[in-house]
Amino acid sequence: DEFTFDDEATQVATPLVEVLERRRGVCQDFAHLMLACLRSRGLAARYVSGYLLTQPPPGQPRLIGADASHAWVSVFCPASGWVDFDPTNNVQPALEHISLAWGRDFSDVSPLRGVILGGGTHDPDVRVTVMPVSA
């Protein structure tokens, strides 16, 4: 409750110190902040990238960050293995979280990577709908 989700507050390269000062950011910021805290305590932790259900089942709330790719954290617990936590939504991920990749941080799992030669820019526009399927 001390931080506010604000998709215009930061960019991919915004330093964590600015996120702490502003108390605003997006899921990538909150995941990186949680990773830094966990690792400062000597815990093995990884950044997870994926998607959330964009259309949750009736009666369930729509999670923050469901309109774009999402990020959360996985920490290694010797007795349980890797355990996921979503600091943006303050939940332990379950079926509504779909993992695509994990790594040390965002740079390991960036959805866009490449080289542009001869100038130019990129402005990706990706839309994903994730909904439950009945059996």
Quote the pLDDT of residue 84: 97
**Where exactly are the structural domains of the chain?**
4-109
Quote the pLDDT of residue 56: 79
For residues 81 and 86, give the distance between their C-alpha atoms in angstroms, rounded to a whole number: 17
Quote the pLDDT of residue 127: 74
Quote the pLDDT of residue 42: 97
Q: Which amino acid is at 79?
A: A
Question: What pTM was estimated for this model as a whole?
Answer: 0.84
Residue 2 is encoded by which pair of tokens?
């001390």
Question: How would CATH label the architecture of 4-109?
Answer: Roll (3.10)
Quote the pLDDT of residue 76: 98
Strand boundaries in 8-119, DSSP class E: 24-25, 45-52, 70-77, 81-85, 97-103
Consecutive 10-residue averages of pLDDT for the chain (135 residues) = 86 88 92 96 97 85 86 96 96 91 89 70 74 72
- CB neighbour list of residue 95: distance below 8 Å, 6 or more residues apart: 53, 132
